[in-house]
Amino acid sequence: MKIFFRIMWGLAIVLYVLFFGEVFLRIFSPVPMLPRYVCATDFGIRGNLPNASYWHTTAEYKINIRTNSKGIRSDREIPYEKPAGVKRIVVLGDSFGMGYEVDLPDTFLFHMEQGLLHAGKKVEVVNLSVSGHGNAEELIMLQHEGIKYSPDLILLAWQETDLEDNVRSDLFGIQSGKLVPRSKVYLPAVEVREKLDKYPIYRWLESESNMYCWIRESAAKWTKNVLVALKSKNFNKKKKVESAKTTAQNNYVPDLAFLLVSEIKTESLAMNANLLVLDIPQSHPTLGGISLMPKAISDPQNGFHVVSVLPEFGKYHHERLYWDKSHWHFTPRANGIVGRALARYILDHHLL
Amino acid sequence: MLFNSVEFLIFFCVFFVIYWMAHKNLTLQNRMLLLGGYLFYGWWDVRFLFLIAFSTVLDFNFALKIDRGQLDKSVRIKTLVFLILAGIFFLLLDFNPGASAAGQSVVFRPQYMSVFLLVISYFLVLYGTDQASSRWKEEQRRKVFLIIGVATNLLLLGVFKYFNFFLDSFISLFEKMTGGHANVPVLNIVLPVGLSFYTFQSISYVVDVYRRQTKPTERFLDYAAYIIFFPQLVAGPIERARHLLPQFLKIRPSLTKDDFNYGMWLIVWGLYKKVVIADNLAKIVNTTFMPYDQGQFVVPHDGFRLLVAVYAFALQIYGDFSGYTDMARGLAKLLGFDIILNFNLPYFARTPSDFWKRWHISLSSWLRDYLYIPLGGNRGNQWFVYRNLMLTMALGGLWHGASWTFLYWGVFHGFILCVYKFLNISEDKKYPSWGIPVLQGIVMFHLTCMGWLLFRAKNMETVAVFIRSVFGHFHVSPLAWENFFLLFKYSWVLIAFQLVQFYSKNLFPLNRAHWFIKLNVYLFLIMSILCFTDSKPQEFIYFAF
């Protein structure tokens, strides 16, 4: 009996601690609640959960994310067969590409599509972006899913987290200067998540509990750091990925990114499609944004079509371009700028 | 190793468990403290360990020489072996794997050979004077060894901390006088962390032995553990041997529940002050001072923003330094030691002398005992007292760092001490109502802030810009409000808690609180620490001193 009461007492304290944490976070440090609903695909990487509808909530906004039966963020179904006379743009990217933190009509892809339609182009955007993807997963997504849509243009939304994600996923590596496959599967915590998502209480926690989101974010940050630290040992014991991405350009991490993007280009050309790379800038207080893209990709001599929005971001740096109180994705304002820049580039360079 | 780092958390948890497993075995516990201290300090730079080993041997020997004139053979051998081993392992050999191009795990560093030989020769000469010094009169001998011991300590401090400063100042003066250009090479000397703290602590030991206020110990390794005691090694409090050293020489009692609770409270509260208050306020301070640190002296039109930055720095430096001290005292408490109080609600001071009885108490009392009183103290006429105050405070300012602004800061405090003394305003004076003491407190806080401006500014142009902007352009911009809001956000808990401490006249009011209140306070502090901490631990400001 005594033990029972002790256990109950301990349980009550734990529940109180969680309750206190929830109240504390709601008052002093609200946590952006951006649940990510992903599932395993047949080809060993993460895809968006099909037919999902969920909310992203922060102190500043609440937006709804909906996916169709193929897990694409869209309100309509997109068949694999391309309609006659329509040019298709397949988009590869992560949460930026998916349009996190903005409503669907505010995403840069929507703006780009509108810009092209206004210019008389019959286009259809197929957004295969999945939050958390790096270039390695994007390549696999293109090989297994993108090809089915018979794309005319591949748009790769490149972001600096790709550098770390490419290493962490360990799907590809470099051997004798060439890209080689390493692992066949990269599904971090997907199995556990799929099981948990079956429970309504867990889904409720994901979208409503500050405490839960805070614990998850903290744990994810730790795990990511540990994974990067462990996997970077494979190629470089002394240099950390953190410093590698910002300083030395001629090392493993940017080289891997370059080789992966080159492979995406090769695959695109094999599908008779052009590759357009969007350089998503990192926020900067006075310049609006800075590019952390490896020089090998952005260098015009290497033949990539790269859209940089740095001049536009510099012009509007005094406006709010990033959600600085949550996950630093684009605001609707920045999405508009990026979408228009993309449409302009595609038209100017006759990529469709 | 920083107190606010994961490495230290792991280190201390492991150390704590092993340390108390050796309870009742004083020798073993002291050896563990010695090894733990060397590991802790060597985390910054292994070479620093040779310096502290030198300082340890130096002051241990001089204290015995002052007291007895001669050193036992065993003492000579023990200390010399200790120093030679320290020289070999910390200075001459580099155990960094892959440090050399050839990939060797151990590399010989010949560039330190001359330093090593010089140090060993110093002690051989010292041991060689045993015969001669035994023939001197006792008082004469005591004085000679006191002077040599203190001078050697000050020489260390001078070389590592002030050499380049004085050389630069001399070159600058020379160039101004002659209009020429002096091409003198400046030595690239790294300032060892906490050098000023442990040097002052060592000097106090030698002086106390000279004054017969402390008996020198013969237990060399226990003394070495006392010098390298990691909780208070790098940023104080500057302990007195008569208070802390005896705690190393007797078996420590078991850790009581009250001691554990108090120690934990000090650690959590100190960590909160450091990572939540100081590190977050540092962002306001650094962004505001940045243009002036970089030499852009434009007077801004929002003086309120600059005033907020000065207030923020007052709270930043308090949170940083007192946070470290609290953690040091808490860690020491968990190891069974009692460390002196270093801060006692300093911003509640009503006069400058009251402030120095509350701020960095261990340094101000050190300066009082080893500088102000030997200079004459309150004896003699008023002008002598003012001179003594000015000199003491100026040197106290310079103790903080080799920079003119620190000197001005010390002089400023010396000046206001003299003014208050001249006006005969004392904190002991009783008033019938609370109005005057509160007003005195507000005035003193702003005088302290003026001092902090001198302390933080990298040059006098910055001070001039701040004064002109605050007094001539007191506009309140949106950014100033934003900074003011952040200042409030990160400091309201400190202010509220200090008011409770002040009015309850109890620095640990929580010990009388109900367990449920304690639980909530701890939860609040821990959640704040976890939510508002930067991912990279920030160094403590006083580590640089």
Q: What is the mean pLDDT of residues B91-105?
A: 65
pLDDT at residue A117 in the model: 95
* Rg of the Cα atoms in chain B: 25
Report the mean per-residue pLDDT for chain A: 89
pLDDT at residue B219 in the model: 92
The reply to whether B488 touches chain A by the CB within 8 Å rule is no
Percent of chain B with pLDDT over 90: 59
What is the C-alpha to C-alpha distance for residues A137 and A129, in angstroms, rounded to an integer? 10
Q: How many CB atoms lie within 10 A of CB A337?
A: 22
CB B409 within 8 A of CB B400: yes
Structural tokens at position A29: 């440090």
pLDDT > 60? residue B261: yes
User: What single letter denotes the amino acid at residue A338?
Assistant: V
Which chain B residues are within 8 Å of A214, Cβ to Cβ? 531
pLDDT at residue A59 in the model: 83
The reply to whether B528 touches chain A by the CB within 8 Å rule is yes
pLDDT > 70? residue A255: yes
Q: Tokens 């207030």 label which residue? A: B311
Shortest CA distance to B337 belongs to which of B5, B25, B30? B30
Q: What DSSP string describes B468-508?
A: HHHHH-B---HHHHHHHHHHHHHHHHHHHHHHHHHHHT-S-
Catalytic residue among B301, B400, B473, B514: B400
Measured in angstroms, the CA of A185 and the nearest CA of chain B are apart by 31
What is the C-alpha to C-alpha distance for residues A122 and A146, in angstroms, rounded to an integer? 19
CB B280 within 8 A of CB B483: no
The reply to whether B517 touches chain A by the CB within 8 Å rule is no
What is the C-alpha to C-alpha distance for residues A60 and A323, in angstroms, rounded to an integer? 9
ipTM of model: 0.77
The phi and psi torsions of A2 (rounded to 5 degrees) equal -60, -40
Containing H/E element for B311?
A: helix B303-334
The reply to whether B6 touches chain A by the CB within 8 Å rule is no
Q: Would residue B400 show up in a list of annotated catalytic residues for this protein?
A: yes
The model's pTM? 0.80
pLDDT tens digits, one per residue of B483-504: 999 999 999 999 999 999 999 9
Residue of B nearest to A13 (CA): B519
pLDDT > 90? residue A15: yes
Note if the bond before B237 is cis, omega within 30 degrees.
Answer: yes
pLDDT at residue B358 in the model: 95
The reply to whether A228 touches chain B by the CB within 8 Å rule is no
Q: What is the mean pLDDT of residues B112-125?
A: 83
Which chain A residues are within 8 Å of B521, Cβ to Cβ? none
pLDDT tens digits, one per residue of B302-319: 899 999 999 999 999 999
The reply to whether B523 touches chain A by the CB within 8 Å rule is yes
Q: How many CB atoms lie within 10 A of CB A3?
A: 7
Of A13, A16, A24, the CB nearest to B527: A24
The phi and psi torsions of A279 (rounded to 5 degrees) equal -90, 100
The reply to whether B286 touches chain A by the CB within 8 Å rule is no
pLDDT tens digits, one per residue of A146-184: 999 999 999 999 999 999 899 989 999 999 889 999 999
pLDDT > 90? residue B379: no
- How many beta-carbon contacts under 8 Å exist across A and B? 25
Interface test with B, best of A13, A17, A240 (most B CBs within 10 A): A17
Report the mean per-residue pLDDT for chain B: 89
Paired residues of B446 in beta bridges? none
Q: Residue A233 — very low, low, confident or very high, per pLDDT cuts 50/70/90?
A: low
Q: Determine which of B121-125, B168-172, B211-215, B455-459 has the lowest per-residue pLDDT on average.
A: B168-172
Q: What angle do CA A29, A224, B283 make, to 5 degrees?
A: 40
Do the bridges between strand A172-175 and strand A178-181 make them parallel or antiparallel, or are there none, so unpaired? antiparallel
Residue of A nearest to B530 (CA): A218
Mapping DSSP onto H, E and C, the string for B215-243 reads CCCCCHHHHHHHHCCHHHCCCCCCCCHHH
Q: Tokens 């206001």 label which residue? A: B416
Cα distances (Å, whole numbers) of residue B161 to A110, A248, B57, B122, B371: 62, 34, 21, 21, 19
Q: Determine which of A115-124, A140-149, A334-343, B42-51 has the lowest per-residue pLDDT on average.
A: B42-51
Q: Does the distance separating the beta carbons of A214 and B523 come in below 8 Å? A: no
Q: What angle do CA B237, B51, B393 make, to 5 degrees?
A: 40
Measure the N-to-C terminal CA separation of chain B; round to a whole number of Å.
16
CB B306 within 8 A of CB B470: yes
**Alpha helices in B339-434, H assignment, sequence order:** 352-356, 361-367, 373-375, 382-400, 404-422
Shortest CA distance to B398 belongs to which of B196, B174, B190? B196
The reply to whether A29 touches chain B by the CB within 8 Å rule is yes
What is the C-alpha to C-alpha distance for residues A207 and A198, in angstroms, rounded to an integer? 14
pLDDT at residue A234 in the model: 55
Q: Does the distance separating the beta carbons of A29 and B531 come in below 8 Å? A: yes
Residue of B nearest to A210 (CA): B531
Q: What DSSP string describes A298-336?
A: H-GGGT-EEEE-HHHHHHTTTS--B-TTTT--B-HHHHH
pLDDT at residue B100 in the model: 52
pLDDT tens digits, one per residue of B156-211: 888 888 777 777 777 777 777 777 776 766 666 777 888 889 999 999 999 999 99
Which chain A residues are within 8 Å of B519, Cβ to Cβ? 13, 16
Q: What DSSP string describes A90-139?
A: EEE-SHHHHTTTS-GGGSHHHHHHHHHHHTT--EEEEE---TT--HHHHH
pLDDT > 80? residue B242: yes
pLDDT tens digits, one per residue of B512-539: 889 999 999 999 999 999 999 876 667 7
Percent of chain B with pLDDT over 70: 95
Of A13, A21, A238, the CB nearest to B527: A21
Which chain A residues are within 8 Å of B535, Cβ to Cβ? 221
pLDDT at residue B59 in the model: 93
φ/ψ bin of B179: left (φ > 0), alpha (ψ from -120 to 50), beta (otherwise): left
Measured in angstroms, the CA of B527 and the nearest CA of chain A are apart by 7
Of A20, A25, A29, the CB nearest to B520: A20
Interface test with B, best of A13, A14, A18, A20 (most B CBs within 10 A): A20
Q: Residue A244 — very low, low, confident or very high, per pLDDT cuts 50/70/90?
A: very low
Percent of chain A with pLDDT over 70: 93
The phi and psi torsions of B397 (rounded to 5 degrees) equal -65, -45
Q: Determine which of A203-212, A235-244, B202-211, B509-518 has the lowest per-residue pLDDT on average.
A: A235-244
Residue of A nearest to B531 (CA): A29
Q: Does the distance separating the beta carbons of B520 and A28 come in below 8 Å? A: no
Which chain B residues are within 8 Å of A13, Cβ to Cβ? 519
- B-contacting residues of A 253-282, CB under 8 Å? none
Residue of higher predicted confidence among B438 and A231:
B438
Q: Which of A338-347, B136-145, B253-262, B296-305 has the highest mean pLDDT?
A: A338-347
User: What single letter denotes the amino acid at residue B24?
Assistant: K
Q: How many CB atoms lie within 10 A of CB B428?
A: 8
Query: Domains (ranges, CATH) in chain A?
Result: 31-348 (3.40.50.1110)
Shortest CA distance to B320 belongs to which of B405, B244, B230, B236? B236
User: What single letter denotes the amino acid at residue A212?
Assistant: Y
Q: Does the distance separating the beta carbons of A218 and B524 come in below 8 Å? A: no
pLDDT tens digits, one per residue of A72-126: 999 999 999 999 999 999 999 999 999 999 999 999 999 999 999 999 999 999 9
Q: What is the mean pLDDT of residues A205-230?
A: 81
pLDDT > 60? residue B115: yes
The reply to whether A19 touches chain B by the CB within 8 Å rule is no
User: What single letter denotes the amino acid at residue B250?
Assistant: K
Q: Does the distance separating the beta carbons of B531 and A214 come in below 8 Å? A: yes
Of A17, A28, A218, the CB nearest to B523: A17
Q: What is the mean pLDDT of residues B473-489?
A: 91
Residue of B nearest to A23 (CA): B524
Measure the N-to-C terminal CA separation of chain A; round to a whole number of Å.
76
Measured in angstroms, the CA of A215 and the nearest CA of chain B are apart by 10
Q: What is the mean pLDDT of residues B72-96?
A: 86
pLDDT > 50? residue A11: yes
Angle between helices B404-422 and B460-472 (to 10 degrees): 50
- A-contacting residues of B 74-133, CB under 8 Å? 98
The reply to whether A218 touches chain B by the CB within 8 Å rule is yes
Q: Residue A241 — very low, low, confident or very high, per pLDDT cuts 50/70/90?
A: very low
